[in-house]
Structure 1
Amino acid sequence: MKIARWTADGAGIGEGFVIDDRVIPFPDGQTVADILAGGLDAAHAAFGRVKGEPGTALAEVRLLAPVVPGSVRDFVAFEEHVEGVSAGVEGKSFVAPEWYEAPTFYFTNPHTILGPGESVAPPVSERLDFELEVAVVVGNAPRVGESNLTAADAAARIFGYTIMNDWSARDLQAREMKVRLGPAKGKDFGTSLGPWIVTADELEEYLDDDGFLAIRAEVRINGELVGEDLVSNMGWPFPELVAYASRNSRVVPADVLGSGTIGNGGCLGELWGRGSAIPALREGDEVRMTVEGIGELVATVGESVPAPELPPARPRPRARRRM
């Protein structure tokens, strides 16, 4: 099953299934949030009720991001990416020993989610980049207070998969990460998701013997292939990412967890770190991401948006009492 959100002719937001070349709303006015909370069983029940309905031609609607996420965790699960991007952003190739100990992630902005075909409006940057990722969408409402999931329990929380483009301003990212924090403004201006959510059962055939999702991912800039990898090259399978996210915490339906950037050219930062002369993204560039079993996510780079200036930190007296 494919789960999507869309709009057409200013008629509001539709939410439902993509079946062949048509979109069909969920029954009884249900939303993506409702279906995620109910899990795959609820999705199959809803699908059975509407699969014969005519719906609307996919070509007549504009797809939106397939989920309104409550949170977005972005992991860094590909060793090859870390090797390359550390050189491109920090000046030397280095994989910290701590990377191998546990899957690391950061939280990015759930309020700047972009849908298929929606242009990104980046900050002023000389090193604008993309990041090709596969993301899991959490479903199946957990019990109240449930945390510290096992990998097996976490696997049952994976409702489906979508493509994720973590847009990145590498010059801003490099500056703020020198402060031992971030990334922040180098990342939070836009994350693209789509074109839809493919339910987990649709991709079971691609799971290898170790539980890794062996699907092929590619990215092209203006039609030229610049990166390709198997998603199964990540250091941890998706259920372990979800389990780690739940440690002393919670994951809930509509949470999105990105795999991190694929290796072998999943972003320009990695390629720059390996000596590539491919230029940074510029206004008008098209980034096309294709993932086997899921689909394509396409976006163009829009005009950059200058931000108001802020002064640097001012020297302070470090007084402990008011004068």
Structure 2
Amino acid sequence: MRIASFRHDGRVRAGVVEGGEVFGFPGDLDVRTIIEQGTDVGQLRRAPGVPLKDVQLLAPLQPASLRDFVAFEEHVEGVRRSIDGTGGVPDAWFDAPTFYFTNPHRIYGPDDSVPFPAHSVNRDFELEVAAIAGPAGTIFGYTILNDWSARDLQKREMQVSLGPAKGKDFANTLGPWIVTADELEPFKDGDGFLDLWCSASVNGVEIGRDLLSNMGWTFETMIMYAARDSRVVPGDVLGSGTVGNGGCLAELWGRNGRQEPPPLRDGDVVTLTVEGIGSLTNRVTSGPATDDIPRVRRRDPAAARAERH
């Protein structure tokens, strides 16, 4: 089942997509509430169908939180070579499925224009699949995630050894809808990995292609790890991390030793496609120019200690 958020006749609704139409759920029921309440969507009353071409699909939900993992070894190796010149995969990567928290308040949907920081020139996409957490550690469904990246900002930030900040938190895209977990169950291999082809194209030219089953850990393991000594709630989004073999430009830059293909520019159209889920397309734009931040205040440590005594 495909669960979508959409705008029609000036109203935002949730519904199920079937056969080229979307059938709205009653009232103002939204996707996140459906997930949080453990609603059986198959039992919900549906409004008459509306052709998909007559509605605007939105990000399927505004998540409670957004964790992004890094579960593809090939991606780690290529991006490390591109960003810090080291290459290789650190031993710690093999210990557990590492993730970081990114911004759940800048979520874009299908066909939205995505504004990069105006002063970023090394602009990149990231092809991912995201699991949507359901009640009691279950997986409600899956959607496509584009973890947009300003690589020049990210490269500077990573030198502080805390993780990405402004190189990542300006935008994420989810969509085109959520495919419920039961529908993708037939794609699982014997170890529980989803055997789905994933591809990315820029302006109609394929850039990369990989199998989702090349992940190092299953989504179930990643949810279990995220909840360890912490909490995962229904509606949380957990990204797979970027697939290998060209799941982003930076991986190819690390492999090629040069920025080929080139960074994204205003007007470029990025399409991510995942077997069994669908396609997600966005156009790259620039956000408004921002002012420089004040320079750091630097003090003589000895003088600071003397002032405290």
Deviation track 1:95-136 (CA, whole Å, cap 9, x = no partner) reads 100000000000000010001011111012121000000000
What is the alpha-carbon distance in structure 2 between the residues aligned to residue 193 and residue 180 of structure 1? 28
Q: 1:72 aligns with which of 66, 75, 87?
A: 66
**Residue of structure 1 equivalent to 2:7:** 7
1:92-103 matched pairs, under 5 angstroms: 92-103=86-97
Deviation of residue 8 (structure 1)? 2.4
- Identical counterparts, % of pairs: 55
1:47-62 matched pairs, under 5 angstroms: 49-50=45-46, 53-62=47-56
**Residue of structure 1 equivalent to 2:267:** 284
What is the alpha-carbon distance in structure 2 between the residues aligned to residue 182 and residue 312 of structure 1? 21
**Greater CA drift, 81-90 or 26-35:** 26-35
C-alpha contact (below 8 Å) 1:38/1:139 kept by paired residues: no
Quick one: which amino acid aligns to residue 172 of structure 1? L
1:230-241 matched pairs, under 5 angstroms: 230-241=211-222
What is the alpha-carbon distance in structure 2 between the residues aligned to residue 244 and residue 70 of structure 1? 18
What is the alpha-carbon distance in structure 1 between the residues aligned to residue 27 and residue 265 of structure 2? 44
What is the alpha-carbon distance in structure 1 between the residues aligned to residue 289 and residue 79 of structure 2? 26
Residue 108 of structure 2 is aligned to residue 114 of structure 1: yes
What is the alpha-carbon distance in structure 1 between the residues aligned to residue 32 and residue 293 of structure 2? 39
C-alpha contact (below 8 Å) 2:13/2:28 kept by paired residues: no
Deviation of residue 42 (structure 1)? 1.3
Quick one: which amino acid aligns to residue 274 of structure 1? R
What is the alpha-carbon distance in structure 2 between the residues aligned to residue 27 and residue 19 of structure 1? 17
**Residue of structure 1 equivalent to 2:23:** 24
What is the alpha-carbon distance in structure 1 between the residues aligned to residue 42 and residue 191 of structure 2? 27
**Residue of structure 2 equivalent to 1:167:** 148
Deviation of residue 295 (structure 1)? 0.2
What is the alpha-carbon distance in structure 2 between the residues aligned to residue 304 and residue 87 of structure 1? 28
Quick one: which amino acid aligns to residue 218 of structure 1? S
What is the alpha-carbon distance in structure 2 between the residues aligned to residue 125 and residue 304 of structure 1? 10
Quick one: which amino acid aligns to residue 192 of structure 1? T
**Residue of structure 2 equivalent to 1:91:** 85
Deviation of residue 172 (structure 1)? 0.4
What secondary structure does 1:175 align onto?
A: helix
Quick one: which amino acid aligns to residue 113 of structure 1? I
C-alpha contact (below 8 Å) 1:78/1:260 kept by paired residues: yes
Deviation track 1:113-162 (CA, whole Å, cap 9, x = no partner) reads 0010111110121210000000001122x4xxxxxxxxxxx4xx100000
Aligned pair count reads 303
C-alpha contact (below 8 Å) 1:133/1:259 kept by paired residues: yes
C-alpha contact (below 8 Å) 1:283/1:304 kept by paired residues: no
Q: 1:181 aligns with which of 159, 162, 180?
A: 162
What secondary structure does 1:284 align onto?
A: coil
1:121-140 matched pairs, under 5 angstroms: 121-123=115-117, 124-140=119-135
Deviation of residue 21 (structure 1)? 1.2
**Residue of structure 2 equivalent to 1:298:** 281
Deviation of residue 44 (structure 1)? 2.2
Deviation of residue 313 (structure 1)? 1.3
C-alpha contact (below 8 Å) 1:23/1:56 kept by paired residues: yes
What secondary structure does 1:299 align onto?
A: strand
**Residue of structure 1 equivalent to 2:34:** 35
What secondary structure does 1:214 align onto?
A: coil
1:203-242 matched pairs, under 5 angstroms: 203-242=184-223
What secondary structure does 1:197 align onto?
A: strand
Instruction: Point out where structure 2 has 5 or more consecutive residues left out of the alignment.
Output: none
Deviation of residue 196 (structure 1)? 0.2
**Greater CA drift, 21-30 or 263-272:** 21-30
Residue 296 of structure 2 is aligned to residue 313 of structure 1: yes
Deviation of residue 304 (structure 1)? 4.0
TM-score with structure 1 length normalisation?
A: 0.90
Quick one: which amino acid aligns to residue 137 of structure 1? I
Deviation of residue 186 (structure 1)? 0.2
What secondary structure does 1:296 align onto?
A: strand
Quick one: which amino acid aligns to residue 31 of structure 1? D
What is the alpha-carbon distance in structure 1 between the residues aligned to residue 245 and residue 226 of structure 2? 26
Instruction: Point out where structure 1 has 5 or more consecutive residues left out of the alignment.
Output: 143-153
Deviation of residue 14 (structure 1)? 1.1
The root-mean-square deviation of aligned C-alpha atoms, in Å, is 1.4
What secondary structure does 1:93 align onto?
A: coil
What is the alpha-carbon distance in structure 1 between the residues aligned to residue 274 and residue 176 of structure 2? 11
1:192-211 matched pairs, under 5 angstroms: 192-211=173-192
C-alpha contact (below 8 Å) 2:145/2:175 kept by paired residues: yes
**Greater CA drift, 272-281 or 102-111:** 272-281
